[in-house]
């Protein structure tokens, strides 16, 4: 009798699991990825200049949980993904990009220097890094380039450019990698923290009131049009310059930091050295 009851219970659990749609079973807390990040991303507990950097050598020795997380992104179908909320979709793609970028580094780490024009320890040493490395997400292959430009920029960053400060391109000039995954429930505050942390770094924002200029990261120079909607500039002919778009956005974003009479923008060199914590 006990065996019959146990068998019936197992069948019930299996049927119950199958009756729950995959999109509902997907872990919206991205706990597997958070577990990886908390273990392999340096925090304030180490040193301020190491915060947000990655222990790639250690992670390469045990990437099982990262692989399990990437598999969860792979087996989810587009039909199931379509049932996600907008914030769930945004968090999904930010985490997907960051996880895939990390995996791409682990596949090639340590790097062999192939050119002398970039740091020896840099993803720039990997030929066609953005286009060569492929990952299966939602059942199809994506490169990092496609994730960034066809998904993240086209669907999200054009409306909320803070996304640019959440995706991490495995370089010290990029935003810091957080020690937990992005989640829909806290996405707005996480994105706000990401851009604030980025702009608080001296190499990403330097103000020179005497010359009425600011020096900022190359990220703004690469994607100026993504800041246009958030800058709330009126349409006009001729249209505003890229520098004007960026400057208006930053003045509105940080009115108590950037002087109103700031008139010029210059861009810092981007540091392509690997964002590695040693």
Sequential DSSP letters for 76-128: S-HHHHTTS-HHHHHHHHHHHHHHHHHHHHHHHPSPPP--SSS-SSBGGGSTT
| Burial class of residue 237 in the structure, from the number of CB atoms within 10 Å of its CB (0-12 exposed, 13-18 middle, 19+ buried) | exposed
Angle, CA 257 vertex, CA 252 and CA 262 arms, to 5°: 70
Contacts of residues 227-232 at CB distance under 8 Å and 24 or more positions apart, as own/partner, are: 227/161, 229/158, 229/159, 230/159, 230/160, 230/161
Percent of the chain with pLDDT over 70: 89
pLDDT at residue number 194 = 98
CA geometry: angle 149, 56, 277, nearest 5 deg:
100
97-136 tens-digit pLDDT = 999 999 999 999 999 988 888 999 999 999 899 999 999 9
Residue 204 has what DSSP assignment? T
Q: What are the tokens at 62?
A: 């045990």
Q: What's this model's pTM, rounded to 2 decimal places? A: 0.90
**Residue of 219, 112, 209, 204 lying closest to 163 (CA atoms):** 219
Check: CB of residue 273 under 8 Å from CB of residue 105: no
- Cα 187 versus chain centre, distance: 12
Q: 145 vs 71, 113, 129, 158, 170, CA distance in Å? A: 20, 22, 9, 16, 13
Q: 189, 195, 240: which is closest to 219 by C-alpha?
A: 195
The residue assigned the tokens 């990655």 is 54
Name the pLDDT band for 7 (thresholds 50, 70, 90): low
Is 140 strand, coil or helix?
strand
Neighbours of 210 (CB within 10 A): 6
Q: Is the dihedral of CA 175, 179, 183, 185 positive or negative?
A: negative
pLDDT for 166-223, tens place per residue? 999 999 999 999 999 999 999 999 999 999 999 999 999 999 999 999 999 999 999 9
- Measured from the Cβ of residue 123, the count of other Cβ atoms closer than 10 Å reads 24
Residue 16 has a pLDDT of 46
- Cα–Cα distance measured from residue 129 to residue 260, given in angstroms and rounded to the nearest whole number: 40
Q: Look at residue 130 in the predicted model and tell me its pLDDT.
A: 95
């Amino acid at each position: 009798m006990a065996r019959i009851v146990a068998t019936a219970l197992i069948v019930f659990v299996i049927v119950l699991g199958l009756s729950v749609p995959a999109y509902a079973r997907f872990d919206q807390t991205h706990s597997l990825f958070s577990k990886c990040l908390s273990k392999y991303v340096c925090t304030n507990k180490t040193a301020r200049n190491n915060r947000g950097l990655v222990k790639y050598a250690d992670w390469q020795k045990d990437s099982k949980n990262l692989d399990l997380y990437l598999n969860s992104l792979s087996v989810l179908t587009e039909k199931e993904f379509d049932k996600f909320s907008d914030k769930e979709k945004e968090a999904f793609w930010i985490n997907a990009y960051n996880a895939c970028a990390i995996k791409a580094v682990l596949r090639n780490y340590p790097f062999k220097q192939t050119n002398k024009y970039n740091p020896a320890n840099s993803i720039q040493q990997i030929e066609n890094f953005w286009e060569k490395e492929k990952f299966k997400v939602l059942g199809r292959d994506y490169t990092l380039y496609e994730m960034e430009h066809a998904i993240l920029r086209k669907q999200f960053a054009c409306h909320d450019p803070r996304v640019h400060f959440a995706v991490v391109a495995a370089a010290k000039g990029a935003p810091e990698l957080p020690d937990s995954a992005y989640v829909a429930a806290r996405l707005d505050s996480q994105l706000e923290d990401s851009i604030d942390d980025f702009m608080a770094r001296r190499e990403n924002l330097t103000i020179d009131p005497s010359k009425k200029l600011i020096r900022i990261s190359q990220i703004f120079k690469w994607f100026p049009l993504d800041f246009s909607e958030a800058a709330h500039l009126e349409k006009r002919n001729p249209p505003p310059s890229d520098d004007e778009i960026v400057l208006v956005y930053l003045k509105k974003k940080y009115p108590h930091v950037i002087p109103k009479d700031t008139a010029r923008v210059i861009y810092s060199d981007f540091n392509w050295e690997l964002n590695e914590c040693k």
